[in-house]
Chains A and B, each alone.
Chain A
């Protein structure tokens, strides 16, 4: 059943499926309907982090070292938590500067240094090749396990020739895949749509396969996690397998491994590729910051159950438990699915890593060499664009062959996880130059270079070399006694530092040297203007007003730029650069036109995206006359903008404060104006009110003076009017004076205990004659016999009379009615005067207590022709009652008109 043909057929069918997915993705991208413009696909593509090492090796590591396997995934979880600070910045810089790889990134940061770029590319090549070998090995081993079970995997491996080795042919198929989908455009900073789509699919496949085997082992092979744990608990040898004591190096090893995974997540070339280069939208980082950790959690969920189950059942090599457990149960389909899952994990990693490495090889290693050969770039023979793509294709083939060779030659001596961790520690050496360079403007090229070299050397000495010794290539005494018997140089216990696990030990020393030299040398070296500019552009990348690139100062013609771009990028890409800026070419005149700074910048960016920033800078310089870059200007712009930003921030604070103070002033002014207006109105009203009686007195007096022979009866009548008007005038003046005194607080009231009911009775009796004359029905209701309050009796009488007079004026003209009622309410005494007049609209009720306010009820015929008051009675009454500690307000009366309510607190003896 489990025939070789079936397995090989399935594997290659799966690869064919990947080809189709990738081709589809690329076609959709060409049509402008990208398949992968979604944060979910982005998160899935980051899951290329989970390689065959995760797929097979996690279980192996869990079986051997307990929970320490989780650290490889907790590190990236921490890194993703910091995504808003680090990754976002890296993504933005990469987009601004058209970065193509991590080597390009580091080279660009340190002044577009070709040498630093080449160094990083070379180091990446050395550290990653074993990792690629590891993937190929995983494919070979898993295939062998699948075929040979229940025999061991090793039985046949040794006898095979390479053309019999499935992993060789898979490597070749992958080479074709990568060449087809990874080198479609020369511009490596553009997204490889098809490839990313295929990687996302692979991430799903490996997750499903792993979850399937996990569920099978936990719930079918054993009856659920509880049953599994019960069996483990019954096996004394496994009791401590998942405790910290099983972790190499204990707590120190734990922290070291966490840090290692954290750093490597940023610096693994494939992670940089998917996280930064292939990112199309910064916002996708948001979703990825939780979706990717969730993916990691899910793929690790069943690692411990599988490891424990494998240990319980004694299924051989822990690295193969995921295969051997379903095989031992006699299943056919599940092992095949697991094999495909492992294949996905391995091929996904190989594809992305190879693209990243081949870009570095072509842009950072080959291009600078080519540029050194004068004839190649100054000569007139073109088509370098095709050359470069071919270089990349050859590089892909060579990298895969190198990986295969490594696997075939020394791959057997290491277990999966060991190779992976050695690679991790190697690429982690890029982290100081990368991360410190991202935040510290003072980091210089010399510091970064020396730090990298020292860190790399220590890594090589403390991890790679002893690895060779363990493989038997070097004497084992190197590890045990140190080189030439010098024990303090022993690679696993440098300076006698022992008791740590080898990775933490290596990471500690290499990082110490790396960071130490980077910082130390940077403090004592002077960066070139180009370095300063780039450092500023990198560290200030999140600056909202950042100038995108340096300003070109030199002179060149559009023709020269055009020729340069055509030679390196081909016609299509060149035309895109020129048309994007509306700089049409075609006539001889345009050829001689001086190129604008923007065009030069665009040309450099286009070259950067294809050849790397260092080479692009060299090429642009080759066609410029005069001083190439206006370095000072960028730095000045950056410094002034950051200063300006600070000023802006402070200014904004100040102006907010000012606005608040201004608002307060405005409202105070408003109040003052209102008061002023009221005063003016008051004066106008007073004058008006005084003039009416005065005018009448004066006119009658003039009549009397001018007509001495006026009839006695008439004279008497006129004099009577004059007396009445004079009385009205003096009353008005009394009232105004009262009011003025009340308002200024100079009115002296002499409150004594007084019976409100008695005062009310007296007041109404005083008005009885007037009421009788008018035919008014007056009703006096005292609900309490005595109502003692504290008040000035004269003033209180004045108020009550005023209220009664008011009611009389507004009561119904035909059948006027007034009710005066005294009653107790909530421990106070109230006096209400109600009339059956037209009443006061609710909105006007408070206004009647304003000075000189006259109800404007002209439409109501009942009101017309009424004797008008001075308009001061109610305001004065209210002021007096307020002085006495009471209240006065208007309500609707049960009689239909107005009820004026007076309330005074009860006076208890």
Chain B
């Protein structure tokens, strides 16, 4: 029972992460970042940072904790 609910929880976290990614990569958020004042625009930097954070989260979700 325990392992089933754990894998359920993992799936829920993945869904949440995907929705978060969609939100971060899509228009309302995108337009907000694009319109930030700045000489060259913040969009590329923003995308790379969000991307990196997402990758970090995914790795944290899937990689089992290291046992000594």
Contacts and interface: CB of A to CB of B under 8 A. Distances in A.
Interface of A: 66-67, 70, 74, 77-78, 80-82, 84-85, 229, 232-233, 239-244, 251, 254-255, 258, 286-287, 289-291, 293-294, 297, 301, 304, 652
B31 interface: yes
Closest 8 CB pairs of A and B: A290-B58, A290-B59, A286-B62, A244-B34, A243-B41, A251-B27, A81-B18, A233-B39
Contacts of B63: 286-287, 290
B31 A244 contact: yes
Given A78-B22, A293-B51, A239 B58 contact: no
Contact of A84 (B10, B26, B30, B34): B10
A47 to B, nearest CB: 14
A265 to B, nearest CB: 14
Contact of A258 (B10, B26, B58): B26
Given A85-B11, A244-B31, A255-B27, A293 B39 contact: no
Nearest to A652: B1
B14 A81 contact: yes
Nearest to B58: A290
Contacts of B39: 233, 239
B6 interface: no
B44 A304 contact: yes
A229 B40 contact: yes
A512 to B, nearest CB: 20
- Residue among B15, B22, B51 facing the most chain A CB atoms (10 A cut-off): B51
A82 B40 CA distance: 33
Interface residues on B, range: 20 to 34
Contacts of B41: 240, 242-243
B10 A77 contact: no
A290 B55 contact: yes
Contacts of B1: 652
A46 to B, nearest CB: 14
Given A78-B18, A243-B41, A297-B52, 10 more contacts: A67-B47, A74-B51, A77-B21, A229-B40, A242-B40, A242-B43, A254-B27, A254-B30, A290-B56, A293-B55
Contacts of A289: 58, 62
A78 B14 CA distance: 10
A89 to B, nearest CB: 12
Contact of A293 (B18, B30, B54): B54
Interface string B16-41: 01100110011100110010000111
Contacts of B17: 81
A70 B30 contact: no
15 contacts: A67-B44, A70-B51, A78-B18, A78-B22, A80-B58, A81-B18, A81-B54, A84-B10, A243-B43, A251-B31, A290-B58, A290-B59, A293-B51, A293-B55, A293-B58
A345 B22 CA distance: 29
A244 B32 CA distance: 11
A287 B62 contact: yes
A84 B47 CA distance: 24
- Residue among B14, B25, B31, B52 facing the most chain A CB atoms (10 A cut-off): B25
A26 B2 CA distance: 41
Contacts of B31: 244, 251
Contact of B48 (A85, A240, A297): A297
Nearest to A297: B51
B22 to A, nearest CB: 7
A233 B39 CA distance: 7
A239 B41 CA distance: 8
Nearest to A79: B18
A84 B18 CA distance: 11
- Residue among B22, B30, B31, B40 facing the most chain A CB atoms (10 A cut-off): B40
A294 B34 contact: no
Interface of B: 1, 10-11, 14-15, 17-18, 21-22, 25-27, 30-31, 34, 39-41, 43-44, 47-48, 51-52, 54-56, 58-59, 62-63
B18 A82 contact: yes
Contacts of B26: 254-255, 258
Contacts of B51: 70, 74, 77, 293, 297
Contacts of B55: 77, 290, 293-294, 297
B4 to A, nearest CB: 10
Nearest to B56: A290
B28 to A, nearest CB: 9
Nearest to A246: B41
A81 B27 CA distance: 20
B3 to A, nearest CB: 12
Contacts of A67: 43-44, 47
B25 A74 contact: yes
Contact of A74 (B15, B43, B47, B62): B47
B11 A84 contact: yes
B27 A82 contact: no
A254 B31 CA distance: 11
A199 B1 CA distance: 41
Contacts of B62: 286-287, 289-290
A251 B40 CA distance: 18
A303 to B, nearest CB: 9
A257 to B, nearest CB: 11
Contacts of A77: 21, 51, 54-55
Nearest to B27: A251
B65 to A, nearest CB: 14
A290 B30 CA distance: 23
Contacts of B43: 66-67, 242-244
A39 B55 CA distance: 16
- Residue among B44, B51, B55, B56 facing the most chain A CB atoms (10 A cut-off): B55
A708 to B, nearest CB: 85
A788 B32 CA distance: 79
Contacts of A233: 39-40
Nearest to A71: B25
A623 to B, nearest CB: 42
Contacts of A74: 25, 47, 51
A242 B44 contact: yes
B21 A301 contact: no
Contacts of B14: 81-82, 84-85
A386 B1 CA distance: 51
B25 to A, nearest CB: 6
Contacts of A78: 18, 21-22, 25
Given A67-B44, A81-B21, A85-B11, A251 B54 contact: no
A494 to B, nearest CB: 23
A560 B43 CA distance: 66
B15 to A, nearest CB: 8
A499 to B, nearest CB: 16
Nearest to A255: B26
Contacts of A243: 34, 41, 43
- Residue among B26, B27, B39, B41 facing the most chain A CB atoms (10 A cut-off): B41
Nearest to A292: B55
Nearest to B7: A84
Contacts of A85: 11, 14-15
